[in-house]
Amino acid sequence: MSYPKGMPMAIKRAKGATVEDVDGNLYIDFFGGAGVMNVGHSNPAVVRAAAEQLGELTHALDFPTPSRQRLVDILSKLLPQEIGRVSFGGPTGSDAVESAIKLAKYNTKRIPVIAFEGSYHGMTAGALSVTSARSFREAFLPLVPEVHFVPYAYCYRCPFKRIPDSCDLECAQYLDHILEDPHSGVGTPAAVIVEPIQGEGGSIVPPEGYIPKIREICDRHEVIMIADEVQAGFCRTGKMFSFQHTNTVPDIVTMSKALGGIGLPISAIAYKERLNTWPAGKHIGTFRGNVMAYAAGAAALDFMVTTNLAEHVQRLGEFVLSSLKELERDSKIVGEARGKGLMLGVELVKDKDTKEPAPELARSVRAGCHRRGLLIEVGGHYNNVARFLPPLVLTEELAKRGLEVFLDSVKEAEGSL
């Protein structure tokens, strides 16, 4: 177990943006099953669709089924036309990442892959290889060879010591440099895999021009660009997909988490038609796709579109972030509050001038929140970022109550210094 170490409880049931434990305690959920429960726990329309499917057909390998076709049709309408080809993988986000990397390698006949500092792409060998955290990697080295990490646009701790808005996106230019310089030590990669907004790395939103610049560099060097939307997809950031904030179209998109609607396990990649070169049977598996998750996913996407969930997320996200920005101004331990939509983070530090990370304060804020009835997660480079990933159906009233609990918990942690 890992999550119960930070939020000690056994869960009995959950509804909307609330969770109840086996002792009858109710929690406001700012955690959302690590960004899975976008349409809310036990969303009635989605539960109905999954239950109907349960009585009809539950396993079909990769045979066509009506629910699979329906999900493909909906996804194809929501994705840019250029990436209309959808392929389902094993049940987790890591599986989607594995498929995306394999597809890129198959098409380019190259081995190197470039990933970013602060990235999280999963725990299977290939996905872990492109995940940056030393703590996850160190017992398993060497992983898949020829993976190289470059800086992400983490402006709060810019490795180039530049100031946002006045910099020249040196972080992106560094990628250009290693692809261009024959002596960089890095072979031309099959792919660059990037989270358009980083999740586990600490809810990091890069400056506006950053992702377009990565796209332009990939194009110039004929490298495939994979956008990992496993966490940031499905309205989480106020758009259906987070790359849609950036006016760019990736070559491959990975999806999972909220794709199964109510937490049914499923993953997929969507990609450009020109990459569809591998023959049938090149990437197989018993649980590639899940019939109930197709039905739940289609109902969830319908729910997102018909309720205009993305707009709700934009509005509520701005409100929550503005409260967190006030906290950033007032609190001695909040270095930065940031994020987009309802993918938010509060970076805790011991000292705002030195920015010394405070993982123990983040842990104590999480414990304080849990004690007072609020679920939050901790992430970031130094495990010092309090993270919010609530179900997107969170109401303004619950958001305000959750924020009060969070503020009290930050004050308590600050008082302990």
Query: Is 154 a residue that touches ligand PLP (CB under 6 A)?
Result: no
Is the torsion defined by CA of 371, 397, 235, 406 positive or negative?
negative
User: Binding segment for ligand PLP among 14-22, 148-156, 224-232, 377-385 (CB under 6 A)?
Assistant: 224-232
User: Binding segment for ligand PLP among 66-74, 93-101, 149-157, 234-242 (CB under 6 A)?
Assistant: 93-101
Residue with smallest beta-carbon separation from ligand PLP: 93
Query: Is 98 a residue that touches ligand PLP (CB under 6 A)?
Result: no
| Whole-number Å distance between alpha carbons of 285 and 118 | 30
Interface with ligand PLP: number of residues (CB under 6 A): 15
Q: Which is nearer to ligand PLP, 231 or 384 (CB)?
A: 231
Q: In angstroms, give the least distance from the CB of 228 to ligand PLP.
A: 4
Q: In angstroms, give the least distance from the CB of 241 to ligand PLP.
A: 12
Neighbouring residues of 262: CB distance < 8 A, sequence distance ≥ 6: 37, 39, 41, 42, 43, 46, 47, 50, 296, 300
Q: Binding residue for ligand PLP (CB under 6 A) from 53, 92, 132, 409?
A: 92
Q: Binding residue for ligand PLP (CB under 6 A) from 30, 120, 303, 388?
A: 120
Tokens representing 41? Answer: 């726990």
Q: Which is nearer to ligand PLP, 65 or 92 (CB)?
A: 92
Tokens representing 338? Answer: 């940031």
Q: Binding residue for ligand PLP (CB under 6 A) from 41, 121, 381, 387?
A: 121
Q: HSE (CB half, 13 Å, CA atoms) of 148?
A: 19
Residues in 240-269 that interact with ligand PLP by CB under 6 A:
256
Q: Binding residue for ligand PLP (CB under 6 A) from 94, 129, 203, 314?
A: 94
Q: What is the CA radius of gyration of the chain?
A: 21
Q: Which is nearer to ligand PLP, 200 or 336 (CB)?
A: 200
Q: Binding residue for ligand PLP (CB under 6 A) from 231, 237, 244, 314?
A: 231
Query: Is 228 a residue that touches ligand PLP (CB under 6 A)?
Result: yes
| Whole-number Å distance between alpha carbons of 175 and 220 | 12
Q: Which is nearer to ligand PLP, 121 or 403 (CB)?
A: 121
CB–CB of 139/110 below 8 Å? no
CB–CB of 218/179 below 8 Å? no
CB–CB of 152/206 below 8 Å? yes
Neighbouring residues of 89: CB distance < 8 A, sequence distance ≥ 6: 95, 96, 98, 99, 267, 268, 269, 283, 285, 288, 289
Site string for ligand PLP, 24-53 (x = CB under 6 A): ----------x-------------------
Residue 276, Cα to own-chain centre: how many angstroms? 25
CB atoms within 10 A of CB 360: 14
Residues that bind ligand PLP (CB under 6 A): 34, 92-94, 97, 120-122, 195, 199-200, 228, 230-231, 256
